């Protein structure tokens, strides 16, 4: 029996001097996805394809009919 695939999140963090990854929601089946990074320096920076972007947190989508917005909660926030 296969496990249910859930969305996951990488939280914002510093990857190196002046290089940051923003909080990113990833679909359950994530392979070869583009993730946005920001380089706050004026120098070109290169990351290898196996750069660790951060731990994955399981999230679930929570939406409210009264508000026009979607919120993602980590499993820890729902327990």
Task: Render pLDDT for 39-56 as a digit per residue (tens, 0 to 9).
Answer: 999 999 998 888 899 998
pTM of the prediction? Answer: 0.65
How far is the first Cα of the chain from the last one, in angstroms, to the nearest whole number?
25
pLDDT on residue 57: 86
Using CB atoms within 10 A of its CB, is residue 12 exposed (0-12), middle (13-18) or buried (19+)? exposed
Does the structure show a pLDDT above 70 at 36? yes
Average pLDDT, the chain: 78
49-65 in b/e form (b: 16+ CB < 10 A) is: eeeeeeeebebeeeeee
Sequence-ordered list of residues with C-beta below 8 angstroms from that of 57, at least 6 positions apart, any chain? 8, 9, 10, 11, 74, 75, 76
Query: What percentage of the chain has pLDDT greater than the value 70?
Result: 68
The pLDDT confidence band at residue 33, using thresholds 50, 70 and 90, is confident
Unique residue bearing structure tokens 């994955």: 56
């Amino acid at each position: 029996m296969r496990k249910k695939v859930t969305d996951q999140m990488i939280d914002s963090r510093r990857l190196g001097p002046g290089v940051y990854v923003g909080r990113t929601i990833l679909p359950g089946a994530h392979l070869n996805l583009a993730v946005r990074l920001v380089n706050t320096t004026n120098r070109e920076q290169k990351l290898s394809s196996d750069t660790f972007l951060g731990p994955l947190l399981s999230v679930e989508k929570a939406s409210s009919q009264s508000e026009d917005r979607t919120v993602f909660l980590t499993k820890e926030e729902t327990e």
